Amino acid sequence: MVKARTSAAELVESGHVRINGVRETSPGHAVKIGDVLTIALDRTVRVLKVTAFNERRGDAASARVLYEEMSEAKRN
């Protein structure tokens, strides 16, 4: 969603992220497979379901297979 961990932490701290419908303000909060993240970003809201984790940090393409985009499914 964002390019750097610091940007992600700022999103969480500023209250733009919900985990399973609950606003999260701690960037270190653990996320589990099956959790639904709601992220308000650049005048849009994205709803994502965590489907897997990667052993190592990777690029954006490898990250895309770790979640299911739920907000697009609601629009169709």
Determine the pLDDT at residue 76: 42
Q: Residue 14: which CATH number?
A: 3.10.290.10
Q: 43 is in which domain, residue-wise?
A: 5-75
Question: Would you give per-residue pLDDT tens digits along the chain (76 residues)?
Answer: 888 889 999 999 999 999 999 999 999 999 999 999 999 988 899 999 999 998 888 888 888 899 999 965 444 4
Q: Is the pTM of this model over 0.85?
A: no
Determine the pLDDT at residue 75: 45
Residues in the chain, overall count: 76
CA dist 70 and 11 (Å) reads: 20
Determine the pLDDT at residue 66: 94
CB atoms within 10 A of CB 12: 19
Q: Total domain count for the chain?
A: 1
